[in-house]
Amino acid sequence: MRNNKDSSPHISRRVALTRTAIALGVAAAGATVTDASAQQKITPAAAKYQDQPKGQQSCAVCVNFQPPNACKFVQGTISPSGWCLLFAPKT
């Protein structure tokens, strides 16, 4: 048998405060994860990085390229002649 205390339309002040605290905690934890992930780069292998261009696509013409040899999203030394799955052309 299920206890339906929380489904009552009249929740106690304690329950309301507890729910608010949990919601704020989850929101704060989410913000922390987002901040951390925004600063992390993925590995070249995860991005399927290669040292050669793919057709007309290369790091030199990718919006994520950071001259002379870095990328906003991929770790390590990035060749201007390279390419990966995250390629996005400069406009």
Q: Between 32 and 66, whose beta carbon lies closer to ligand SF4? A: 66
Sequence letter at residue 28: A
Structure tokens at 35: 């901040």
Least Å distance, CB 56 to ligand SF4, is: 12
Q: What is d(CA 82, CA 74) in angstroms, rounded to the nearest whole number?
A: 11
| Cα Rg of the chain, angstroms | 23
Amino acid identity, position 12: S
Q: Which is nearer to ligand SF4, 4 or 37 (CB)?
A: 37
CB of 38 to ligand SF4, least distance (A): 15
End-to-end CA distance of the chain: 61
Q: Write down the least CB distance from residue 86 to ligand SF4, Å.
A: 4
Q: What single DSSP character describes residue 70?
A: E
Q: Which residues bind ligand SF4 (CB under 6 A)?
A: 47, 49, 59, 62, 64-65, 71, 73-74, 78, 82-84, 86-87
Nearer to ligand SF4, 4 or 56 (CB): 56
